[in-house]
Chains A and B, each alone.
Chain A
Amino acid sequence: MIKIENITKIFRTKEVETTALDRINLQVAQGEFVSIMGPSGCGKSTLLNIMGLLDQPTEGALLINDTAVSGMKDKQLAHFRNQTLGFIFQSFHLIPALNVFDNVELPMLYGKNISTKEQRQRVLEVLEKVELSHRLKHFPTQLSGGQCQRVAIARALVSKPEVILADEPTGNLDSKMGIEILELLLTLNKEGTTIVMVTHDERIAQQTHRIVRLLDGKIQ
């Protein structure tokens, strides 16, 4: 599903050079639920961003579904992000000016032409899944953290991606809500979605198929 070959990422600023990832090799199979663990600053987010086509590696190759990603045009990258990938962030990143329904609908505005009726159908479906059907007209500021993250998950699901990339999705939530979110992700995984999740929480990581441990940009 996702194949990472010898990826290195170096951040260069005027003063310093940081090697965030150092010759990483990693494969994620279809249907897997992988968690990435490691201390703060070891490169977890950087790795996830590269997998999510939000950042380019300094060296190395990334293949998604056996397609080499390097050299793709902006339009193809956008299409990939929209159709194949779904993102979940630690701080939710909902658009404050849009209500729950509109936030969830957003990816479909960038995707294939789907009739308005079907779009609506899909939004309602995924919101049903995250148990937020009764909050359609609410704005993000009117929701709790756990609810916000469930909206974000619904948004990641709405265009039926093959892979979900989640960067500390439970990091901003208390443990009870965190478990709720994890259970949701486990269910999605059982239904066939590949998931790569960054987490700090050992207990949460234990529930996934595989744990990848990073330290100073290298896999241990």
Chain B
Amino acid sequence: MKHILKIIWNQKRNYYWIFMEQVLVTIILMLSAVSVLESYKKYKTPGMLNVENTFVVGYLSGNSATQEEMGNSLKSMNILLENMKKLPYVKTITRGFNLAPYQRDNELYASQVPSDSIRIDDKRFMAIYKFSDEFGASVLNVEMEEGTWFENRALPDGSLPVVITRQFASKAGWTTSVGKKIPFGSRFFTVTGVAAGLKQVPFEPSPIAIVIPSFAMGGMPFENMVKIETGMEREFIEAFSKEFQRLIPYESMEPFLNYMPSLKSMWTSQSVLSVILQGIPTLFLFIFAFIGTFGLYWMMSQKRMKEYALRIALGSTKSKLIGIVIGESLLITCMAILPALALSLFIYEYNAVHVIAVSITIFVMLLFAIVSAWYPAWKVSRVNPAEALQYE
């Protein structure tokens, strides 16, 4: 070890480029690892909603729609949904707004409903408003951490029941939330339950949100979710289209029907793709660095063949020769990791994601060192000392 250090130190110049290259690779690898892990962590945050066998249905009104057509369509949609509910393969229908996930990005969810900041005690924060009927929880399989989803009526004290997200409760600083009052204009909401989360897109954590019963809000648009039996997608789409043409036969009104699992996978693949796109340059850099490092070690080991042959003559075993070649590579890499490590202490706070990402980086770099020196080391171990030490 000390011996290898001496050799490296006395030949600093030969190792300069390998060292600089590895410092760079380590830093970039670390940044990539952190960003990938952070995405993954966001993906794993609680509150992913179950959208299996679920459709979002509705209609889109064109510019040419008359007041009368719009009014009729709203009524007809109610009838349409009632009819759908009677189909044997339709399990549940829920009507709400801003609750169905994967409809838009997080910013648009935040601006869908004119939202006011919430004021609790001395705390003030923004929350996303969502509306739902009593079936929202069962369609989306919302995981309740505390309490229950609300019924479709006001509470005995006249206040409206609401469900909040865990993020809301944390922001409010509540350890238990059921029964807590939230001021709303001149009235109050009463919390009946806390959801573990209500994620809107797969790769972002659940928002600070409050779900209000939709019956209380007259005259607002609806996002209807329909949960059906597995394998009945085609039948449902056909039935819906037929009913739509019968009940809403206006040129200006177009049926709207989205299969939510597709939406979800679209969002997911988009995020995964962007992570991969970020990763590709890193991967290339890594490959080039590997080829470069391997080439340099290869060249150096060839140039130093006499030295290795001499070591055999002086009593080194083959495995010790391998050890010295790989040891040099490992030591260089260990030194190259140090600047990245120092940098990480500066730019990252101490948390699990960063510790894991940095550990992975170190592990990969050490592997890099061993693999890139492996073949040269093996070649060195097969040196014929008589030949290499021949005087020419």
Chain A residues, CB < 8 A from B386: 45-46, 49, 54-55
Which B352-392 residues sit within 8 Å CB-CB of chain A?
384-386, 389-391
Chain A residues lying within 8 Å of B11, measured Cβ to Cβ, are 97
Q: CB < 8 Å: which of A55, A90, A91, A155 contacts B314?
A: A155
Those 6 A-B pairs whose CB atoms lie nearest each other, nearest first: A82-B315, A55-B386, A110-B315, A49-B386, A78-B317, A54-B385
A102 neighbours in B (Cβ, 8 Å): 3, 6
Which of B3, B307, B312 is close to A78, meaning CB atoms less than 8 Å apart?
B312
A93-B317 contact in complex given A109-B3, A167-B391, C-beta closer than 8 Å: no
Decide if B391 touches A45 in the complex (CB within 8 Å): yes
Which chain A residue has the least Cβ–Cβ distance from B313? A87
16 chain-A/chain-B pairs, Cβ below 8 angstroms: A46-B386, A55-B385, A74-B318, A78-B317, A78-B320, A87-B314, A91-B391, A95-B307, A99-B10, A102-B6, A110-B314, A110-B315, A110-B317, A110-B320, A159-B315, A167-B391
Place the interface of chain A in its size category: 20 to 34
Assess the A89–B389 pair: CB atoms within 8 A: yes
Q: Is the C-beta of B91 less than 8 angstroms from some C-beta in chain A?
A: no
Bound-complex Cα distance A15 to B283 (A): 46
Q: Interface 1/0s, chain B 1-28, versus A by CB < 8 A?
A: 0010011001100000000000000000
Nearest opposing residue in chain B for A52, CB measure: B313
Chain B min CB distance to A93 (Å): 5
- CB of B270 within 8 Å of the partner chain: no
Task: Provide the bound-state CA to CA distance between A74 and B6, in Å.
Answer: 27
Q: Distance (Å) between the CB of B310 and the closest chain A CB?
A: 5
| Bound CA span A79–B317, Å | 8
- Say whether B95 faces chain A, with CB atoms less than 8 Å apart: no
Q: By the criterion CB–CB under 8 Å, are A83 and B315 in contact?
A: yes
A110 and B7 alpha carbons, distance in the complex (Å):
16
Encoded as 1 (CB less than 8 Å from any B CB) or 0, chain A from 127 to 144 comes to 000000000000100000
Complex contact A171–B385 (CB within 8 A): no
Which A residues between 94 and 119 are near B, CB-CB below 8 angstroms?
95, 97-99, 102, 106-107, 109-111
Q: Which chain B residues numbered 295 to 311 have a C-beta less than 8 Å away from chain A?
A: 306-307, 310-311
Residues of B within 8 A of A109 (CB): 3
List chain A positions with a Cβ less than 8 A from chain B: 45-46, 49, 52, 54-55, 74-75, 78-79, 81-83, 87, 89-91, 93, 95, 97-99, 102, 106-107, 109-111, 139, 155, 159, 167-168, 171
A171 CA to B319 CA in the complex, in Å? 33
Q: Contact at B7–A54, with CB atoms within 8 Å?
A: no
Which among B10, B319, B384 is the interface contact of A98 at CB below 8 angstroms?
B10
Task: Assess the A74–B10 pair: CB atoms within 8 A.
Answer: no
Point out the residue from B6, B315, B319, B390 that lies within 8 Å of A111, measured CB to CB.
B315
**In the complex, number of A-B residue pairs with CB atoms less than 8 Å apart:** 74
Interface size on B, residues (CB 8 A): 24
Chain B interfacial positions (CB closer than 8 Å to A): 3, 6-7, 10-11, 306-307, 310-320, 384-386, 389-391
Chain B contacts for A46, CB-based, 8 A: 386
Contact A168 B391 (CB under 8 A): yes
* Least Cβ–Cβ distance between B94 and chain A, in angstroms: 75
Interface centre among A46, A91, A93 (most CB of B within 10 A): A93
Which chain A residues lie closer than 8 Å to B318 at the CB level? Answer: 74
Cβ-neighbour of B389 out of A54, A78, A159, A168 (below 8 A):
A54
Given A78-B320, A98-B10, 11 other A-B residues pairs in contact with their CB atoms under 8 A:
A45-B386, A54-B313, A54-B385, A55-B386, A87-B313, A91-B391, A97-B10, A98-B7, A99-B10, A110-B311, A171-B391
Closest chain A residue to B14, Cβ basis = A97
Q: Please, how many angstroms separate the alpha-carbon atoms of A81 and B385 in the complex?
A: 12
CA distance A90 to B389 in the complex (A): 10
User: A106 near B313 (CB under 8 angstroms)?
Assistant: no
CB distance from B252 to the nearest CB of A (A): 84
Nearest chain B residue, comparing its CB with the CB of A99: B10
Distance of A78 Cα from B315 Cα, bound (Å): 4
- Are B310 and A110 within 8 A (Cβ)? no
State whether A106 touches B314 (Cβ < 8 A): yes
CA distance A75 to B320 in the complex (A): 10
- The CA-CA distance from A107 to B310 in the complex, in Å, is 10
User: Which residues from A are CB-within-8-Å of B384?
Assistant: 55
